[in-house]
Every structure is written in C-alpha cells, then in structure tokens.
Amino acid sequence: MRRVFALLSLLLTGFGITAVEAAEPRIQLASLETVRLTPSPDALIAKTLQDIRSNRLNEALHEVDRVISMRPDFKLAHLIRGDLLMARAKPLSNLGAVAKASPQSLTDLRDEARVRLMRYIDQPGPDMLPRQILQMARNQPYALLADASRARLYLFENVDGEPLLKRDYYMTIGKNGTDKRNEGDKRTPMGVYQVSDQLPKKQLTDFYGAGAFPLNYPNEWDRAQGRSGHGIWLHGVPSDTYSRPPRSSDGCVVVSNPDLQELSQWVQPGATPLILAARADWVDRAAWQEAREALLKRLEAWKGDWEARDAERFLAHYHTDFFANAGRGWADSKRRNIQDKDWIKVELKDVSLYLYPGDDMAYTEFTQHYSSDKHNGVTSKRLYWQMQNGQWRVALEKSIDRPTNYAQR
C-alpha cells in the first residue's frame, strides 16, 4: 500500500496538500459524465487514480489500459501505466521514474497529472455558483468560464438567467501563464470576451485540430489599457495529440479535439461569452445573489438618474478615470444633452452581468432602448465598472447603434 499511495502523494506535490489531508480525497467520476454512453478518457484517468488510492492495482491497470485503447496518443496515460507496473516491484521516487523522456517533458506530464487529479479533489459543491457569472441574457444560451489554476473550462447553460453547470473540460493556457499585456508574451488574457467567429477544420492547419473559435481580444478595456496582441482563440490540438500540458500554448485556450467537437454543439459566435480567470470563484447562493443585486442596483440607479434628467447624479455614476480619458468636454456635452430634454425613457433588455477576475471590476452588456421628446434609438451597450469609494462606477462605455427596425425584434 505504501508503494501505491506514494504515487498519489507525488501527484499532489506542489498543491500544498499532504498525503494525510488527501487520505479521503473527493475523487469521483463527474456527475455530468453520466450523460455519456461511454466514459471519457478524462473520467477513466480519474477512476485510475481512485483505484490507485484504494490499492486496487489490477483495476487501475485495467482502467488505464482502457484509456490507452481509446486514445493511444494520451501520453499521460502511458506514464501512469508505466509507474503502476513499476510500483509492483519497488517504491516510486517520482512520477515518471520509469519513463524515458526529457526532463521538460516529464515536468509537463507531471503538471498535467496534478491538475487532472485536482479536478476531482478541488471541485465546487453542487450548490455553489460561479461568482464571475451573475446574470446571463436570454440571447446567451451558454457561457464559458476558464479557470487557469484548475486547468478547467466550464460550460454553463442559461436557466432563467442563472448559470447551470453543464460540462467541464481539461484545458491548456499560455506558456507564461495569464494576464496578457503584449504581443508575443505567450500569456492568456484575463477578462470577459465574446466568441466572435467559428473557423472549421478545413480552413485551418492541423495545428488547430478540430477547429477554432476566435475571441474578441483585445476588447475595449484591453485597448484602453494599452494591451496589444491578437489571435487569441479557443481551439483543438494536432491530430497526433490527445492533450497538451497545462501551460503550452502561445496564449490561446486549447482543449482536446473530442471536447472541441462537443463544445461546438453549444458555442455560438456572437452569443457565447468566455470569461477567462486566474481562478474561478465559487460561492454559495446567498453570496452570489448579494453580488448580483449590488451590481443590478447600480445599473438601475444609473438608468433611473438618466430618466429623471438629474445630470449631476447621473454623472456621479462615472469613475474619475472615465472623465480623464473622455475629456472634460464629454461631461459638459452629456449634461447639456440631458437638461435639453423634456422627458427621457430608457429601457434595458437582454442584460448580462459578469465580474472580471479580481474584486474591483465588473462588466454589463445590454440592449438599450432610448426615447425622449427629441430622439429615439436602439443601442447595444457595454459598461465596464470599477470600484471607487466602495461603489461601482462606470470606467468605460462602448455603444453600437442598431438599425431602426431592431426595436421591433
């Protein structure tokens, strides 16, 4: 047993979790796997680790052999199989002790083993909600949340505006981690992005695998912060590869080809947001509702003061950095515009609410139906909010006018 349990302990190295703390880890097949007729390689690897923990070597070998028969290109499965065979003869000094590979390759595979195992130990409870997704608009049937620390890509279904976890997938990010700032820094950006297009396999080289979904990086906030770069995509892997190490892309989010093909059922260009976070924040319903209501309250107050034609109260909803970037003339123009109207009516439809990574920034998107005694219009609007003096204030505003007949849709 000591020889076998050593493998589990080695996998946990680097996560601050001791073998004692992991004596009864929550390793289990994902409940969502039950919808699949055949367990995925990801689930079978988890079952292998569960068998290792329980000293069921024969069962573990059987499971990992099933993985290899399904995906002969799954390098991690071969590594674990070799260690399982060696564990019968002597204690393991390190994961991959019997493998003949470069030190970097072994390090990459060990990292992959750790994050795959952590998927089943450090997973959110069934009643927890993602704090980064506070409200999904009715025109957003699905949303994606990428958790860099867990190397997981979560797919949520929109159920009456709330996110319901539907699937999760192992993913790869940039070689140098997160917080992309410059062209070529090999980092994955953090923020709220939109899937802007879908590129089929036939339009791409084999490097991108089963296809790609380009993201709108850099978005308005990135450009305002001087961040550069382009070509951040969600895509697959080469045809001779099952998965890549957790940090091995040039900044893109990468999943296996079977997972990308499955995701293609739900991901829709122009309708699917992707929130990229260093670590997803899972909270109970009370905390989630509190964060949601706080942001909704500020949005409603912004709208209400505009309709009340109270220019000073309306302008107080904007961050001091907003005025610095927009210039003094913007506030004067907005003040005159509001005071020049006899009445104003603002209706917000298809409102989505997301929190940026960290605690001091939020993102709202909606369709704005504006009418007054002098002007009518329909606008798609994005507001980027930042905390200032304990309140959400608009730090950046982006508007896109819609055709006149859009209001009738």
What is the longest distance spanned by two Cα atoms in the chain?
Answer: 87
Tens-digit pLDDT profile for residues 80-126 = 888 788 766 655 455 545 555 566 677 888 888 888 877 877 778 88
Average pLDDT over residues 1-13: 49
Tens-digit pLDDT profile for residues 348-396 = 999 999 999 877 999 999 999 999 999 999 999 999 999 999 999 999 9
State the pTM of this model: 0.87
> Tell me, what DSSP letter sits at residue 265?
T
Tens-digit pLDDT profile for residues 280-305 = 999 999 999 999 999 999 999 999 99
Chain CA centroid to CA 232, Å = 13
Angle at 298 between CA 295 and CA 304, to 5 degrees: 140
pLDDT at 94: 53
Task: pLDDT band for 240, please (50, 70, 90 cuts).
Answer: very high
Residue 269 and residue 210 in contact, taking contact as beta carbons nearer than 8 Å: no
**The architecture CATH gives domain 129-282:** Beta Barrel (2.40)
Is a pLDDT exceeding 50 seen at residue 199?
yes
Strands (E), 160-304: 162-170, 173-174, 191-194, 199-200, 211-214, 233-235, 247-249, 253-254, 273-277, 282-283
**Does domain 284-408 bear CATH number 3.10.450.50?**
yes
What does the mean pLDDT of the chain come to? 86
Is a pLDDT exceeding 90 seen at residue 317?
yes
pLDDT at 31: 40
Any idea where the domains of the chain sit in the sequence?
2-121, 129-282, 284-408
- % pLDDT > 70, the chain: 84
- % pLDDT > 90, the chain: 67
Is a pLDDT exceeding 60 seen at residue 238?
yes
**CB neighbours of 311 closer than 8 A, spacing ≥ 6?**
334, 335, 338, 339
Is a pLDDT exceeding 70 seen at residue 177?
yes
What is the arrangement of strands in the sheet containing 211-214, beginning at the earlier edge strand?
199-200, 211-214, 233-235, 253-254
Is a pLDDT exceeding 60 seen at residue 134?
yes
In angstroms, the CA 66 to CA 45 distance is 9
Tens-digit pLDDT profile for residues 216-228 = 999 999 999 999 9
In angstroms, the CA 4 to CA 14 distance is 19
Average pLDDT over residues 191-196: 97
With residue 362 as reference, give the H or E element that holds it: strand 361-372
